[in-house]
Each structure stands twice: as structure tokens, then as C-alpha cells.
Amino acid sequence: MNEILRGNWKGTRPYAFALGLLRNAGLRPTRQRLALAKLLFENGDRHVTAEDLHSEARGVGISVSLATVYNTLHQFTQTGLLREVVVESGRAYFDTNTTQHSHFFYEKSGRLLDVPAEAIKISQFPSAPDGAEIAGIDVIVRIDA
């Protein structure tokens, strides 16, 4: 899905691009989903919390509840448009870059930055317990700054 997002926004009307994203993901393009998709994807890769996106939406005149923002972010995650990054219990970011990569998390400011995939090498990890499969590995490097 990330191939669709990268580099294809330029030269396309923002709402037309958002409409295509939602349709390709199998989501009904409601007014609120379109508006939130436009905000999320029009300026490249980014990390947002639900609260950040809600505030941003309200700031540009989009009337949407925080619950709708949460629901939409989770729907986008389930369909592969976003990747959820849980940094601590009750605190999650949503990443528009869905490729496999790690993150720096600045504990004092709450800032989240991408670590290039090639910067971290994992040579071995444990086998999954019987009857289970490893779905992925998330590496969050915590920064005390």
C-alpha cells in the first residue's frame, strides 16, 4: 500500500487522491474519511496521535469528534493505509509510512522519528510459541532528551 502513497500525491487534486486511497482500501469514502485522509497523506510521511489529528482537523474547520478520529485511524490501520506504533500503554501514534522500519521516541517531548530500516540489523529472534506466528517486530529506541 505504501507504494500507492509515496510520490503519487503531487499533481493530483488532494480530494481525488484521498478518494482513490479509500476506494483502493475498500473503505466507503465518507466526507469525514476523505477530509482526514487528505490531512494525513497530503504532506508525506508523518506520525500523528488521534488527538493531534483531531486538533489539526478542527483547526482547518473540519467538524469531527475525537471518537470518529479514533475510529477512522483504526479503520485506516486495519486496511493497511496506516501503521500503529504503540510507544507506551495508552499512547499510540499512527504512521503513514507502513514499510518495515524502527523509531526513535523522545520521552520528554513525545516526538517520534523514523529510523531507516537498514540502520538496525536483527540477526536472530526467537521462534514463535507453538500454534502462533510472528506478525512483526517493532523496535522503538527511547531517547532521554
Domain range for 109: 100-143
State the Cα–Cα distance between residues 115 and 27, nearest whole angstrom: 30
Number of structural domains in the chain? 2
**What is the spatial distance between Cα 127 and Cα 129, in angstroms, rounded to a whole number?**
6
Q: Are residues 77 and 134 in the same domain?
A: no
pLDDT at 126 over 70: yes
Enter the pTM of the model. 0.85
Instruction: Quote the crossing angle between the two packed helices 66-78 and 50-59, to the nearest 10°.
Output: 120
Residue after which a domain boundary falls, among 92, 114, 131? 92
65 and 127 inside one domain: no
Residue 58 is predicted with a pLDDT of 97
The candidate with the shortest Cα–Cα distance to 101, out of 58, 45, 19, is: 45
Average pLDDT taken over every residue of the chain? 90
Residue 85 sits in the same domain as residue 47: yes
Supply the pLDDT for residue 87. 95
Q: What pLDDT digit, counting tens, does each position of 41-79 carry?
A: 988 899 999 999 999 999 999 999 999 999 999 999 999
Please tell me whether residues 106 and 131 are part of one structural domain: yes
Q: Residue 74 contacts by C-beta under 8 Å, 6 or more apart in sequence?
A: 84
